[in-house]
Chains A and B, each alone.
Chain A
Amino acid sequence: MARVLFENVTKEFGSVKAVNDVSLEIQDGELLCLLGPSGCGKTTTLRLIAGLETATSGRIHIGDTDVTRFSPKDRDVGMVFQDYALYPHMNLADNIAYPLKVRKVREAARMERAKEVADHLRIGHLMERLPGQISGGQQQRTSVARAVVHEPRVFLFDEPLSNLDAKLRLESRGFIKHLQQEMGVTAVYVTHDQAEAMALADRIAVMQDGVIVQIGSPLEIYRNPQTSFVANFLGSPPMNLFDAEVRNGSFVGSSFELDAKGVKEHSALNDGDSVTLGIRPEHVRVSPKPMKNSIASELYAFEALGPESILSFRIDEQLLVARAFGDDPPEIEMGQTAYLSFEPRHLHLFNEHGSRVNAD
């Protein structure tokens, strides 16, 4: 149990900066999710903690120890690999007990401990099987069991659920969260699935091109995305983003005009500024009757998902997605014109560089 500290860590592969000057503190007992699109440097960050990559520059601490130059075996971490990496020639008992075996724990003691962990993860009855003879979900549990069997100071997970089907993924997500809290161990969890990150994390670090663009609790990031990239990456369906220009107290887009009255951030903008307007689907109000300060558009697609409905409207080349909760969605026919409006406080503003515009 220990915190993990990154100080200006950079990792280069030739000319590619996979991790670019990252500073980060992961608190003791916290579950931090590294979230970002494929290729943004999540796995590299995780491998830097494990010692499978060595930082080009910067320092990494686990607990009070500077482990920057330590080899993996001296770092005392447990890692669940994306492909599980269970040794195919060892049965589950030997797989799970492996970290104890190399730590010179006696055969009887390590088998007892392996059995205990396996029972806890409900795979205790499979100890004699080879990894090839159990299901994907059981393989995943086995790799978790092997990662926790020696009670490491840090857990590392690299997209551990990406090989499971949707139903099993939900179940495993709950079980990982429970296990981590029960053991109170610091954990770093890599995923590109925003829902997984939202569900699991104490804090999320959103990565883009080797840089952490925002870090905070899931709700903080969801409510106050600091860049249009983060805004678009979290939430499903993602936030609607539309380009507009500030003109005489209004936001003027290619085919709409919205009064900026009531939008606090407007005070920080000047006439002629380009902005990106962001609105979450759940904050779009859909009305069949004309409304003041709204965007008129025809219904393009309608998806009834049960507890919620997704309505898409076409605005020029883009779709604006609205989400209505409950069993009675707005009564609009395909092709019928609807009027879309939002409360000013729900509008997110980003400048032309994609950074959030805050009120003065």
Chain B
Amino acid sequence: MNLPKYVLARIGFYVFVVIVATAFALPLLWLLLAPFGRQATLAVRIPSEPTLANFVSVFRNAFAMRALFVNSIIQAVGAMLLITAVATLTAYSLSRIRLPGRDMFVYMLILFSSVVTGSAAMVPIFLLIFELGLIDSHTGVILVFTGGLLPVAIFIMRDFMQSLPKSYEESALVNGASTLQMLRHVVLPLTRPGMMVIGIWAFVNVWGSFLIPFILLRSPDRMPAATATYSFYTEAGTPVITLVSAYALLYILPVLALYLFVNWRYGFQFFGGIKS
């Protein structure tokens, strides 16, 4: 190839990459710096006199702290466990049992799921949860999230399960394992990476959702962090940027912690089939 042209193409490519990377990095950088500033600003700059005062006021806000460290955790962990457990069991049976119309069933589920968490269904969902007497309860929030996220979780898990050769299970049975032993010794460990992905995905989804808890919950002491951010707005409705950014920084910590924990404990590696 002609050398100057090649060099130009390379330079163009790097410029493009830098622009894109900056577009993504700037908000994150702001999030890391703004909480330590004295004045509210939307500019990304290292604060001249860093302070922890913003964090102190955030920690003094009992409502916001309870939202973040109790309510959000209850709802996200609850939905995560429920979704992972149900998706794993459903996906396993869907991938191992021959049923007529099995694939159709999964695609229909996917279709419906976009409806459940979409805003169009908010009124019926509100009415449904109201009729069930689950308005203003963690259970109601967890169930709605589970309903909305489960189909995609099942879809992903089923794909994952189908890529596991059946011969692992068959060899366990021939080796003398009971069905339960086979599930515990072979299927569960091999499925764990998939469960981790689904679990974290579900957690992050619930953690970051605003609309559903905002509609279904009323009492301040059940609100999750996403809605509690409103407590850092002035009465005129403008955000107090120093406090919102400090709260937002705390808000991402549990997600980060979960990710690091799972990665440390189990790793995200997949055991594929053995290559020969």
Contacts and interface: CB of A to CB of B under 8 A. Distances in A.
A89 B274 contact: no
Interface string B255-276: 0000000000000000111111
A231 interface: no
A83 B276 contact: yes
Contact of B176 (A86, A89, A150): A150
B175 A98 contact: yes
Interface string B18-61: 00000000000000000000000000000000000000000000
Contacts of A98: 172, 175, 177, 185
28 contacts: A50-B170, A50-B174, A51-B174, A73-B174, A76-B176, A78-B175, A82-B167, A83-B165, A83-B273, A84-B274, A85-B167, A85-B170, A86-B274, A87-B186, A88-B271, A88-B273, A98-B172, A98-B177, A98-B185, A99-B175, A99-B176, A102-B172, A102-B175, A102-B177, A102-B181, A131-B274, A132-B274, A136-B276
A188 interface: no
Interface in A52-101: 52, 71-73, 75-79, 81-89, 98-99, 101
Interface of B: 165, 167-168, 170-178, 181, 185-186, 189-190, 271-276
A309 B171 CA distance: 44
B176 A71 contact: no
Contacts, number: 83
A84 B276 contact: yes
Nearest to B170: A52
A163 interface: yes
Closest 8 CB pairs of A and B: A88-B271, A85-B167, A85-B171, A72-B173, A136-B276, A99-B175, A163-B276, A102-B177
Contacts of B275: 132
Interface of A: 50-52, 71-73, 75-79, 81-89, 98-99, 101-103, 131-132, 136, 139, 146, 150, 156, 163-164
A223 B148 CA distance: 69
Contacts of A76: 176
B97 to A, nearest CB: 15
Say whether chain A's binding surface is mostly helix, strand, loop, or mixed. loop
Contact of A73 (B165, B177, B186, B271): B177
Quick one: which of B168, B173, B175, B189 has the most chain A CB within 10 A? B175
A250 B173 CA distance: 60
Given A73-B173, A87-B186, A88-B190, 18 more contacts: A50-B170, A51-B174, A52-B174, A73-B175, A73-B178, A75-B174, A76-B176, A78-B175, A81-B167, A87-B172, A87-B189, A88-B274, A98-B185, A102-B172, A102-B176, A139-B274, A139-B276, A164-B276
A131 B178 CA distance: 23
B66 to A, nearest CB: 40
Contacts of A131: 274
Contacts of B172: 87, 98, 102
Contacts of B186: 87
Contact of A79 (B174, B189, B271): B174
B173 A71 contact: yes
Nearest to B178: A73
Contacts of A102: 172, 175-178, 181, 185
Nearest to A104: B176
A17 to B, nearest CB: 18
